[in-house]
A and B are shown apart, each in its own frame.
Chain A
Amino acid sequence: MSSKFYTPDGFNDTLPGVCAFKKDAESKLRRLFFLHGYQEIETPGFEYADIYTKPDFVKEEDLYKLTDSKGRLLCARYDGTIPAARYAATLAKDKFPLRLSYIENMYRFNQTGGGRQSEFTQAGAELMGIAGSDSDAEVIAMAIRSALEVGVTDLQVSIGQTGLFEGAVNQAGLDEETAGIIRNAIVAKDPVTIERVAGEKDLSDNDRDMFLMFAQPSGDADTVEEIRDFFTDPKATEAIKNLEEIMEALSDYGYDKYVSIDPGLLGSVDYYTGVVFKGYTYEVGFPIIGGGRYNKTVGAFGRDMECVGFSLGLSLAITALIRQGLELTDPVAEAVVGYEKGNKDARVSAITLAEQMRLGGTTVILDTSSKSEEELNAFADDNDIGTVFWFDGGEK
């Protein structure tokens, strides 16, 4: 018989120190969502795998799968958005717009390293049932606030729009296959392939430069003016207007310094249908915030609905903060109260005092291990406990 005394790959204990910080962050986020009218929901830990794979949102191999008693395929919760979309389409009736939030553990197969784990906590919010730049900006502002609330201040959020690339493809008259090749080149920021394809397909200079602009290494622009002139297609023009309005609104929130425009942020084809954004900080290799508009998603559950949302990778954000030098403190307690062994009166006094102090908000350990006064003082020293009370027959 072999016993496994360690945890599976990608699954970790969250121990005192980190756990206290994380739970505190969760409370702050919960409060933030509550104050903005985003009602919290819990969705099942397991769903039918179909809700992720049938509309092709998630690759089957990325899900943790199991079967129910009838042999149907289930999967562990992969994200918060798809279950929220299922809820909005089927159960929410007509109470729109709907503002939902969640703070839950997600499970993703084959995804570890660079600060990522297979099990991790995400906090997110979804704004369902309304369209428009103001609602886009509301959710981006929520995302920024969430990161700040957790303590991430070195934050950069890049904003893109799926309409830019769609418009560019129309404008250049690309077939689906060529568009796919260019899309992959933009995602990899690979200008070589774009130049080659532009030559083969005989694109105009403007259209070639437009696709190269998408693939600029640091794609960030402060305003849409830098990119506006490339586009004539109405879809792209509309996307630019959307970005312009979002940036204006975010400046009203006072968040200009966190945001920039990245045309090369394309978002997943099957998922996003408008604004897309990602948030970055130092010391982890992956974005800590992801989000965007996903008007097609709820439609997959039988009801078309305009939606925008974000999620904050809380576990990843905390990893980043720790690597950025966050000092975690989690003292065992602020005070310890002990009493002489076998002395009933002393025990009564000790219990009473401990209770009173706890009512006042002090964390108190009542020593029940029959320590002597010296042992109790030594215990307090070892555990950084500042205050010691000792009861024997007479005085404390």
Chain B
Amino acid sequence: MLTIALSKGRLAEQAIELLERAGYDCTAAKEKSRKLILEDEKTGLRFIMAKPADVPTYVEYGAADLGVVGKDTLLEEGRQLYEVIDLGFGKCRMCVAGPKELKDGKLDKIPNKRVGTKYPNITRAYFEGVKKESVEIIKLNGSVELAPLIGLSEVIVDIVESGRTLYENGLDVIETIADISARVVVNRVSMKMKSDEITPMIEKLKTQVEIMNSNKEE
């Protein structure tokens, strides 16, 4: 039995679609219900529907063997996991964003910046590790764009997909921290102990991802 942790929402749907194309019967996972554990004894697959930020935890502790989760969550959680496939969907960027006026290096002129974000660990790693400066991090839980608009912070760190929310609020991307997409992660012990089931699954998923990517290029 393999336990797969999925990030509730769009990412779970895409992951299930991919698994089906790779030849895995996911009828159980598509069941429209409020059940959090969806199990199919015939296929030997058990799906758990978790909050995205919790997927790395389930997988690191071995409660799930595999998981599908965004790179943003992986960077923020910093868990010890195998990150075996870049699925190529759920694409976006982790960015420093703020008022347009701060573009072209003007951001660096502000000392002791305040940064609003849902991702305090990524923010700290970027400003302290890459830019070598200390910042005041203000942890927020949503609608992060508000912070610079009402003077809670100078800039924000957040994921940006199309950038529409930013533009409509007079903000813009100032710096890109990392490219984000969905990843397949595997527990380190499961990789060893259930290699007979996991290795072929990884290979099949990789093949599907390659087909998907080559279709996109055409």
Which residues on the B side are within 8 Å of A281 (C-beta)?
Answer: 189, 193
Q: State which of A94-102, A188-196, A230-238, A355-363 sits at the interface with chain B.
A: A188-196
Interface status of A218 (Cβ within 8 A of chain B): yes
Which residues on the B side are within 8 Å of A283 (C-beta)?
Answer: 62
Using a CB-CB cutoff of 8 Å, which residues 39-82 of chain B contact chain A?
Answer: 57, 60-63, 81-82
Which residues on the B side are within 8 Å of A113 (C-beta)?
Answer: 57, 60-61
Nearest chain A residue, comparing its CB with the CB of B187: A285
Which residues on the A side are within 8 Å of B189 (C-beta)?
Answer: 280-282, 284-287
B188 engages A217 (CB within 8 Å): no
B61 engages A114 (CB within 8 Å): yes
CB distance from B186 to the nearest CB of A (A): 7
In the bound complex, CA of A283 to CA of B190 (Å): 9
Q: State which of B7-15, B102-110, B125-133, B194-202 sits at the interface with chain A.
A: B194-202
B60 engages A218 (CB within 8 Å): no
Chain B interface bracket (under 10, 10 to 19, 20 to 34, 35 or more):
20 to 34
Indicate which residue in B63, B86, B192 contacts A280 across the interface (CB closer than 8 Å). Answer: B192
Bits for A148-166, please: 1 = Cβ < 8 Å to B, else 0: 0000001010100000000
In the bound complex, CA of A199 to CA of B186 (Å): 26
A114 engages B60 (CB within 8 Å): yes
B82 engages A280 (CB within 8 Å): no
Bits for A354-384, please: 1 = Cβ < 8 Å to B, else 0: 0000000000000000000000000000000
Task: Contacts A189-B83, A280-B193, A281-B193 given; indicate if A217 touches B186 (C-beta within 8 A).
Answer: yes
Bits for A270-308, please: 1 = Cβ < 8 Å to B, else 0: 000000000011111111000000000000000000000
Indicate which residue in B62, B193, B199 contacts A217 across the interface (CB closer than 8 Å). Answer: B199
B187 engages A158 (CB within 8 Å): no
Task: Contacts A158-B192, A220-B195 given; indicate if A189 touches B82 (C-beta within 8 A).
Answer: yes
Which residues on the A side are within 8 Å of B138 (C-beta)?
Answer: none
In the bound complex, CA of A281 to CA of B10 (Å): 34
A binding-site residues for B, Cβ under 8 Å:
113-115, 154, 156, 158, 188-192, 217-218, 220, 280-287
Q: List 11 A-B contacts (CB under 8 A).
A: A114-B62, A114-B63, A115-B61, A156-B192, A188-B81, A189-B191, A191-B84, A285-B60, A285-B189, A286-B188, A286-B189
B binding-site residues for A, Cβ under 8 Å:
57, 60-63, 81-84, 86, 186-189, 191-193, 195, 198-199, 202
